[in-house]
Amino acid sequence: MKRILILPLFLSLLSGCLEKKNRAFFTDDGITLGEPKVVEGGGLFIPIDFKTRIIHSAQWLYDVEWKQKDNKITIMALFSVPPDMKKSVYQGGITLKAGKLSFYDAYRIHYRDPDGKTHYVGEVRTRPQGSGN
């Protein structure tokens, strides 16, 4: 009987899975935003780095889900468990496509927990303050 129960658990571990993490999974200053960079085609790349509270050898940052609404961007980190089952596709940040860019001077970044609660992370400026361009 025990073998029957262990087999499905073992198979699910082999298949790997993605876990969405709460903001509390990261250190207080563990989500940092870099300077936005214009990319080919007129898009904008926003570098984002994650530092977890505990280094867990069986979890690797796989990707970041994100959504944009006006000048608010919500992000959520997805971790691959166990490692090596899913190769990371995270590019070190998010890219706003040229067609999705708005005329905002800054974007407010929030982290979204799996339950929907959001936490303010910071702001990235797309233009220097005071520039009218």
Q: In CATH, what number does 16-125 get?
A: 2.60.40
Give me the torsion for CA of 59, 61, 65, 66, rounded to 10°: 130
Longest CA–CA separation in the chain, Å: 71
pTM of the model: 0.77
pLDDT band at 11 (very low <50, low <70, confident <90, very high): very low
Q: In the numeric block, which tokens belong to residue 114?
A: 């799996």
Q: How far is CA 102 from CA 4, 33, 34, 50, 129, in A?
A: 55, 19, 19, 26, 16
Rounded mean pLDDT of 21-47?
91
Mean pLDDT of 4-33: 74
Residues 49-91 pLDDT 10s: 999 888 765 678 899 999 999 889 999 999 887 756 677 899 9
Structure tokens at 115: 């339950």
